[in-house]
A and B are shown apart, each in its own frame.
Chain A
């Protein structure tokens, strides 16, 4: 079989910049409610999401890192290190939890907008690569990205 012609300078740039995205899944409950509003206002603004007993989602957390692709390993970052970081700092803290009980949502409503910003702050601390974006699917119909 003949293969398509390849430019001889295919790898002319030794470390081109690429973006690696990884998706993690976690399930958590929450209730949208603000002490700044009255009970009636909370019901009016948050609707069924204000149910006092809470409800839950299967969240999909997508994190993207950008950087030069290492000429030797071919990687933007070490996936094993990223997965270990995510296990400790994301899944162990948020999976199978009630978001409203966590420190991160003590002063802000546990909307997925705020959750996305919190996840950004967490993965910003990953030492292996530069975080460029967090995207969370709250349901298959709703997703949120930070930064815009």
Chain B
């Protein structure tokens, strides 16, 4: 079994807000991230898959294929979008780095031929990132 990681990037806007709370409560919990005009990040996504090395091709997965899957399932949907307003899974969930990692896992799970999803890592910035391993 070998792990293989593919990296890609997307740039998106978001804010942190819970409709059930007052403005004051949102400010208290989410701080400056609660600004309803939104703000944005250059996100870096690292997707790690686990699989056996094919004896003929020497590949775990075809990287071009993996790149296309990440593009189709994630980048095309998230890049240059407002996550809260334009990406359906964040209509009712705060688009924190943790939730973005979980949502990307669920977008990719079962869609990568010949390999098992091992880890989704999302960097919101170089010094802050979240990992999701599919744990319920």
* List of B residues within 8 angstroms of A23 by Cβ: 126-128
Asked if B103 and A74 sit within 8 Å, CB to CB, the answer is no
Complex interface: chain A residues within 8 A of B129 (CB) = 20-21
Given contacts A4-B77, A69-B99, contact A19 B127 (CB under 8 A): no
CB-CB nearest in chain B for A72? B18
Expressed in whole angstroms, the Cα–Cα distance for A72 and B29 within the complex equals 11
Q: Do A22 and B135 touch across chains, with their CB atoms under 8 A apart? A: no
Contact string, A92-136, partner B, CB cutoff 8 A, digits 1/0?
Answer: 000000000000000000000000000000000000000000000
Q: Is the CB of B136 within 8 A of A17?
A: yes
Which residues does chain B contribute within 8 Å of A79, judged by CB atoms?
128
**B-side contacts of A18, CB under 8 Å:** 98, 101-102, 130-132, 135
Known A-B contacts A18-B131, A21-B128, A21-B131; A7 and B106 likewise in contact (beta carbons under 8 Å): yes
Residue of A nearest to B128 (CB): A22
Closest to B136 in A: A13
Is A75 among interface residues, defined by CB-CB distance under 8 A?
A: yes
Given contacts A4-B107, A21-B131, A79-B128, contact A74 B98 (CB under 8 A): yes
| Complex Cα–Cα for A73 and B18 (A) | 8
Partner of A19 from the list B87, B106, B126, B130 (CB cut-off 8 Å) is B130
Q: Which residues of chain B have C-beta atoms less than 8 A from A76's C-beta?
A: 98, 130
Interface size on B, residues (CB 8 A): 37
B103 and A10 form a contact (CB under 8 A): yes
Bound together, the chains give a CA A69 to CA B100 distance in angstroms of 11
A52 at the binding interface (Cβ < 8 Å)? no
Q: With A and B bound together, what is the CA distance between A21 and B132 in angstroms?
A: 11
Give the contacts of A2-54 with B (CB-CB under 8 A).
3-4, 6-7, 10-11, 13, 16-25
A80 on the interface (CB 8 Å rule)? yes
Q: Which 10 A-B pairs have the closest CB atoms?
A: A74-B94, A74-B96, A23-B127, A17-B135, A19-B131, A74-B99, A18-B98, A69-B98, A13-B136, A18-B132
- Supply 17 further A-B pairs (C-beta < 8 A) apart from A18-B135, A73-B29: A6-B89, A6-B107, A13-B136, A16-B132, A19-B132, A21-B131, A22-B127, A22-B128, A25-B127, A69-B102, A73-B16, A73-B30, A74-B96, A74-B99, A75-B98, A78-B29, A79-B128
Interface positions of B (Cβ within 8 A of A): 16, 18, 20, 29-31, 72-74, 76-77, 87-89, 92-99, 101-103, 106-107, 126-133, 135-136
